[in-house]
Amino acid sequence: MDGLFQIWVYLAEQPLLWLAVTVSAYVVAQQLFLRSGGFPLLNPVLVSITLVVLLLLATGTDYDTYFEGGQYVHFLLGPATVLLAVPLYAQIHRLRRQWLPLGIALLAGSVTAIISTVVLGLGLGLGPSTLMSLMPKSATTPIAMGVAEKLGGEAALAAVFVMISGITGAVAGIPLLRVLGERDPAIKGFAMGVTAHGIATARAFQHSNQAGAYAGLGMGLNGALTALLVPLFAWLFGL
């Protein structure tokens, strides 16, 4: 047992250990999701985050130590986001005909996400700093953190809210749209991208390439629009 402990201490000092842990957790989570027949609560992102957090708690590892290895995955978020343009280009013929309904849906989704957050937050007695951190929750993480920080919110808190909204959208998005009678993968994907950014976009790609392409479009457009609208609504609500 002593030897095993010493091996763990040695490995814990190597940054690539946590990269391997992150990738392994996702592979395990993906297999569980596939074997369950796509059960929503076994979403790979949710399960892999849970596995990694449990391991960090069990080993007493702080986040900074974990991120020394996890940063490699973090770096790949940029190229992965850019690559979303590839399946989107395959849908260019449809996009040319749909710019108006997509624009209306984007504006409605973005405005609803922000206003509903403010109204509920004020009703719950949340302070201005928390509200500023919560308002951009439907945008992708870098945008939400930047907007929250510029307006006096907490960047770390904004990242938590973004993660919660993304996981919720990834878990509940497809089943909810199915209950509502929606069958078009483009509409499903765009709705998930606008409301639940990258995590839901990954889930949309599991549904179909078309849904994933539209989710990527919704995620990108909503990120830009959120960055413009959050300061405006913060001013309108006197925050």
Of the three residues 82, 108, 131, the one that is the final residue of a domain is 82
Question: Is the domain of 9 the same as that of 57?
Answer: yes
Amino acid identity of residue 74, one-letter, is H
Question: Is the domain of 67 the same as that of 184?
Answer: no
- 3-class secondary structure, 1: coil
Number of domains into which the chain is organized: 2
Question: What CA–CA distance (Å, rounded) separates 125 from 49?
Answer: 30
Look up residue 104 and give its two tokens.
């209306």
Of the three residues 82, 117, 135, the one that is the final residue of a domain is 82
Looking up tokens 């809210």, which residue turns up? Answer: 161
Question: Is the domain of 186 the same as that of 70?
Answer: no
Question: What CA–CA distance (Å, rounded) separates 118 from 84?
Answer: 31
Determine the pLDDT at residue 8: 47
| Percent of the chain scoring above 70 in pLDDT | 82
Question: Is the domain of 76 the same as that of 89?
Answer: no
Question: Is the domain of 47 the same as that of 129?
Answer: no
Question: Is the domain of 54 the same as that of 135?
Answer: no
Of the three residues 82, 109, 128, the one that is the final residue of a domain is 82
Determine the pLDDT at residue 7: 46
Looking up tokens 């995590």, which residue turns up? Answer: 199
Question: Is the domain of 90 the same as that of 76?
Answer: no
pLDDT digits (tens, 9 = 90+) for 37-78: 777 777 777 788 888 888 888 888 777 777 776 666 666 666
Question: Is the domain of 155 the same as that of 200?
Answer: yes
pLDDT digits (tens, 9 = 90+) for 145-169: 778 888 888 877 888 888 888 888 8
Cβ–Cβ < 8 Å for 166, 84? no
Residue 180 per-residue DSSP state: T
Question: Is the domain of 16 the same as that of 33?
Answer: yes
The arithmetic mean of pLDDT across residues 208-220, rounded, is 82
Domain limits at 13? Answer: 2-82
Question: Is the domain of 211 the same as that of 230?
Answer: yes
Cβ–Cβ < 8 Å for 236, 135? no
Question: Is the domain of 186 the same as that of 104?
Answer: yes
Question: Is the domain of 43 the same as that of 102?
Answer: no
Residue 38 per-residue DSSP state: S
pTM above 0.85, yes or no: no
